[in-house]
C-alpha cells in the first residue's frame, strides 16, 4: 500500500479542514474556509445551498480537477494534494465519473464513441472497449441509440449517455453538478432513477450538487453549504 493511500477503506471521500481562496485583484475571496466532510463508501450525498456558496468549488476539489489552498482531500484512499498534474489526471480516469449539468458530450462522436472515450485511457483492447461501452449504454436504456450523435438526442437521452460514460470505467465516486438542472420533470426523474440504480445496485458513491429538493430527496444524506461552511 503506497503512502498516499492513507484513509480508511470504508471512507470514499474525506475532506479535512479545507480552505479554498481566490485572489481577485487585491481582494481575497474565501470560498471554503476550514471545511470538513466525510462520505462513506456507497453513500448518495446531496449537496445543497444558495448560489455562490461554494458547492461547485467543493465538488471540483473532490473530483480532483481543482486543488485546495490548504487542508487535505482524500478520495478513494488517495490524498489528492500529493499527486502531480499527470498523476492526478490518471487518478481521475480510474476513480471519478463526471456527470455535468449540460452533459458535455463530444458532438462529433456518436453515443457509443462518447461512452467509449474514457476507456481510451485504459489498457483495454478495442473490442473490450466496445463491449463495455455497449453494456453501459444498455444499462441506461439507449442500446438502440448507440449510433446517434448528441445533436440527434433529447436532453434526457444525452444525460443518460453521459451517465453511461461516467460509469463505464467503474469509478469509485460519481460527481454530479446539477445533473437535472437542464431537464424537464420527466427526464429528471429518469436520470435520478438511474443514479439511484448505480448507487444501490452497483454500490457507487455519489456526490451530487443540486438546487432541486426533489432530486435531493433521492439521496441518503443532504448537506447544506452556506458561505463556504456546511450548516448541517
Burial (CB < 10 A; 0-12, 13-18, 19+), residue 101, is middle
By beta-carbon proximity to other proteins, the closer residue of 166 and 218 is 166
Q: Binding other proteins by CB under 8 A: which of 98, 180, 206, 223?
A: 98
Which 3 state secondary structure label does DSSP give 26?
Answer: coil
Alpha helix segments (H runs only) across 107-218: 111-116, 126-139, 155-167, 185-200, 213-216
Q: Binding other proteins by CB under 8 A: which of 8, 17, 70, 108?
A: 108
Number of residues forming the site for other proteins (CB under 8 A): 24
Burial (CB < 10 A; 0-12, 13-18, 19+), residue 15, is buried
56 binds Mg ion (CB under 5 A): yes
| Contact (CB, 8 A) for 210 and 179 | yes
Q: What letter does residue 178 receive in the DSSP assignment?
A: S
By beta-carbon proximity to ligand ATP, the closer residue of 42 and 181 is 181
Which 3 state secondary structure label does DSSP give 29?
Answer: strand
Contact of residue 31 among other proteins, Mg ion, ligand ATP, none (CB under 5-8 Å per partner type):
ligand ATP
By beta-carbon proximity to ligand ATP, the closer residue of 54 and 150 is 54
Q: Which of residues 172-231 bind other proteins (CB under 8 A)?
A: none
Residue 142 grid cell:
439507449
Question: Residue 169: which of 209, 127, 135 has the closest Cα?
Answer: 135
| Contact (CB, 8 A) for 156 and 182 | no
29 binds other proteins (CB under 8 A): no
Contact of residue 65 among ligand ATP, Mg ion, other proteins, none (CB under 5-8 Å per partner type):
other proteins
- Name the minimum Å distance from CB 85 to other proteins: 7
By beta-carbon proximity to ligand ATP, the closer residue of 49 and 179 is 49
Residues forming the site for other proteins (CB under 8 A) = 60, 63, 65-66, 85-86, 89-94, 98, 100, 104, 106-109, 117-118, 120-121, 165
Residues forming the site for Mg ion (CB under 5 A) = 56
Amino acid at each position: 500500500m503506497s503512502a498516499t493511500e492513507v484513509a480508511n477503506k470504508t471512507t470514499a471521500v474525506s475532506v479535512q479542514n479545507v480552505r479554498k481562496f481566490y485572489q481577485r485583484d487585491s481582494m481575497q475571496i474565501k470560498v471554503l474556509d476550514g471545511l470538513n466532510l466525510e462520505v462513506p463508501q456507497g453513500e448518495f450525498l446531496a449537496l445543497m445551498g444558495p448560489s455562490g456558496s461554494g458547492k461547485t468549488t467543493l465538488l471540483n476539489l473532490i473530483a480532483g480537477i481543482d486543488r485546495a489552498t490548504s487542508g487535505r482531500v482524500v478520495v478513494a484512499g488517495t490524498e489528492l494534494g500529493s499527486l502531480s498534474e499527470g498523476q492526478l489526471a490518471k487518478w481521475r480516469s480510474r476513480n471519478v465519473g463526471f456527470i455535468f449539468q449540460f452533459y458535455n458530450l463530444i458532438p462529433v462522436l456518436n453515443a457509443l464513441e462518447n461512452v467509449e472515450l474514457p476507456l481510451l485511457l485504459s489498457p483495454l483492447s478495442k473490442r473490450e472497449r466496445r463491449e463495455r461501452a455497449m453494456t453501459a449504454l444498455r444499462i441506461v436504456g439507449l442500446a438502440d441509440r448507440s449510433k446517434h450523435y448528441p445533436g440527434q438526442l433529447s436532453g434526457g437521452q444525452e444525460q443518460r449517455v453521459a451517465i453511461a460514460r461516467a460509469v463505464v470505467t467503474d469509478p469509485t465516486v460519481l460527481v454530479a453538478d446539477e445533473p437535472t438542472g437542464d431537464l424537464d420533470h420527466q427526464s429528471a426523474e429518469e436520470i435520478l432513477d438511474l443514479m439511484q440504480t448505480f448507487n444501490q445496485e452497483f454500490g457507487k458513491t455519489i456526490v451530487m450538487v443540486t438546487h432541486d429538493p426533489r432530486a435531493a430527496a433521492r439521496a441518503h444524506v443532504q448537506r447544506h453549504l452556506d458561505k463556504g461552511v456546511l450548516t448541517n
